[in-house]
Amino acid sequence: MAAAVIIIPILVVSMVAISTYLVYQLFLKNFLAKRSISQTLEKYNIQKTPFQIIKEYHENKGENLTHDEIQKLEKNYTRNEPEQFLAMYDAIRENSKDRK
The residue segments making up the domain with residue 47 are 2-99
How far apart are alpha carbons 9 and 57 in whole angstroms?
53
Q: Return the closest-CA partner of residue 50 out of 81, 6, 22.
A: 81
DSSP 8-state secondary structure symbol assigned to residue 92? H
Question: pLDDT truncated to tens, each residue of the chain (100 aa)?
Answer: 678 888 999 999 999 999 999 999 989 999 999 999 999 999 999 999 999 999 999 999 999 999 999 999 999 999 999 999 999 999 999 988 777 6
pTM for the whole structure: 0.78
Q: Of 50, 19, 52, give the one whose Cα is nearest residue 35.
A: 50
| pLDDT value of position 83 | 93
Task: Provide the pLDDT for residue 2.
Answer: 74
Q: Give dist(CA 50, CA 85) in Å, integer.
A: 7
Q: Give the chain's domain count.
A: 1
CA atoms lying within 13 Å on the CB side of residue 56: 18
CA atoms within 13 A on the CB side of 41: 21
